[in-house]
């Protein structure tokens, strides 16, 4: 049986994003009075009263820079919520935010899109993820929100 690991935004990237995001903007932290924002730093929903910020994040650009590849036309950036200050990271090792419609976008090791799939609900998530990784060319999967297309987190084998 395969094991998959949900990866939050890496700590080094978070430090940079909290200073200047991937769009070159300085973040504007705020107190989340209602809670419920999907935090990409710790893979949970925000709680009322937490200080968070919305930043622009380019996951494929950053991955390509680490791997020495070129994201090419796949370079994109989008809004993500993170804690305004450093947090403890994920509280659990499970897959997050899977209780809604999601898109699983498959990528090769060099960051090229290999396909995508709409997943309708929590019960369909694990089988869809297994099917994505059945293809040996798939190096990682991005889980994205359907409503806005936002990047939620990356999943890797192991």
Q: Please list the pLDDT of the chain residue by residue as tens digits (158 residues).
A: 467 788 899 999 999 999 999 999 999 999 999 999 999 999 999 999 999 999 999 999 998 998 888 888 888 899 999 999 999 988 775 566 777 789 999 999 888 999 999 999 888 888 999 999 999 999 999 999 888 888 999 998 86
Question: Contacts by 112-116 with C-beta closer than 8 Å and gap 24+?
Answer: 112/72, 112/74, 113/74, 114/138
Rounded Cα–Cα distance for residues 94 and 42 (Å): 11
Locate the domains of the chain by residue range.
Answer: 10-83, 101-157
pTM value is: 0.88
Per-residue confidence (pLDDT) for residue 94, from 0 to 100: 56
Per-residue confidence (pLDDT) for residue 1, from 0 to 100: 47
CA-CA-CA-CA torsion sign (107, 83, 124, 2): positive
């Amino acid at each position: 049986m395969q094991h998959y690991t949900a990866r939050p935004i890496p700590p080094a990237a978070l430090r940079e994003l909290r200073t200047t995001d991937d769009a070159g903007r300085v973040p504007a932290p705020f107190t989340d009075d209602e809670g419920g924002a999907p935090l990409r730093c710790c893979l949970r929903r925000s709680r009322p009263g937490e200080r968070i910020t919305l930043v622009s994040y380019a996951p494929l650009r950053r991955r390509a820079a680490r791997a020495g590849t070129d994201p090419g036309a796949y370079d994109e950036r989008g809004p993500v919520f993170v804690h305004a200050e450093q947090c403890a990271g994920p509280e659990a090792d499970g897959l997050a935010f899977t209780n809604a419609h999601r898109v699983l976008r498959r990528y090769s090791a060099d960051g090229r899109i290999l396909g995508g799939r709409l997943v309708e609900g929590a019960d369909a998530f694990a089988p869809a993820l297994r099917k994505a990784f059945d293809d040996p060319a798939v190096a990682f999967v991005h889980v994205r929100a359907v409503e806005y297309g936002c990047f939620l987190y990356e999943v890797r084998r192991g």
